[in-house]
Amino acid sequence: MKSMPEIFLVRHGETTWNRIGRHQGQLDAVLTLDGVRQAEHVGNQLKREIENWDSVRLFCSPLFRCRQTAAVICDTVGTNFERLIYDERLKERCFGDWEGLTDREITAQYPDAWAARERDLWNYIISGGGENYPALAARVSEWLDEQPANCQIVLISHGQTGRALRFRYCGLNPEEALNLPVPQNIVFRLFEGQSHSLDANQ
């Protein structure tokens, strides 16, 4: 098995759409004040954990909520925001026709499709160009395979993208991956095929 880098995985802070339960997918919303505080909290976790920021590779989803989160983290740890590397493969999973809708709106407008997805959360493809988890895992794996071993990476991304990365990195099965927590105020350290939270309570 190919050696993999040490990755500090971060989900963006809470957004206005997170707060009211709208699926963002590859659309965007801005951080709430709580989301900014979460990003600062994450930055402080990283600051305690990482000593040499000059050698760390900083990757970020190009979606604005991740850019905002990354800016706060960079300010908190004292590193240059311009070092961030944006990669399209790190975007959130596309929710197709369901982007911008709440669960209630989806079940009202697409009841049969919602029921089909509930029967197979891993493989179901949402209409309108949506991605299932295998497609998401494939593009995240492509990014991971390009990263050299024996380096440190800080990655600011998304909830479901982070699940797909841990699925691949830790060799999980789909059920395990679907049950992974995706908090917005916690860093997950991925190292030697394992994942653990920097917060002892997670």
**Please, where are the H alpha helices in the chain?**
16-20, 33-49, 64-77, 103-109, 111-119, 133-145, 159-169, 174-178
Specify the amino acid at residue 55: S
Cβ-contact 197, 52 below 8 angstroms? no
Structure tokens at 160: 């479901």
DSSP string, 9-64: EEEPPPBHHHHHTB--TTS--PBPHHHHHHHHHHHHHHHHH-S-GGG-EEEE-SSH
Share of the chain above pLDDT 70, in %: 98
So what's the pLDDT on residue 2? 64
Placement of tokens 């860093």 in the chain: 187
Count of beta carbons in the 10 Å neighbourhood of residue 181: 12
Catalytic residue positions?
12, 92
Cβ-contact 169, 193 below 8 angstroms? yes
Identify which of 135, 37, 51, 32 has the alpha carbon closest to the alpha carbon of residue 89: 135
pLDDT at 201 over 80: no
Cβ-contact 85, 60 below 8 angstroms? yes
- Taking residues 26-46, what's their average pLDDT? 97
Residue, of 162 and 1, whose pLDDT is higher? 162
Q: Crossing angle for the helix pair 64-77 and 33-49, nearest 10 degrees? A: 50
Long-range contact pairs involving 169-177 (C-beta distance under 8 Å, separation at least 24):
169/4, 169/7, 169/144, 169/193, 169/195, 170/194, 170/195, 174/122, 174/133, 177/122, 177/133
What pTM did the predictor assign? 0.95
So what's the pLDDT on residue 3? 84
pLDDT at 199 over 80: no
pLDDT at 200 over 60: no
pLDDT at 99 over 60: yes
- Taking residues 146-169, what's their average pLDDT? 97
pLDDT tens sequence across 104-146: 999 999 999 999 999 999 999 999 999 999 999 999 999 999 9
So what's the pLDDT on residue 202? 42
So what's the pLDDT on residue 120? 97
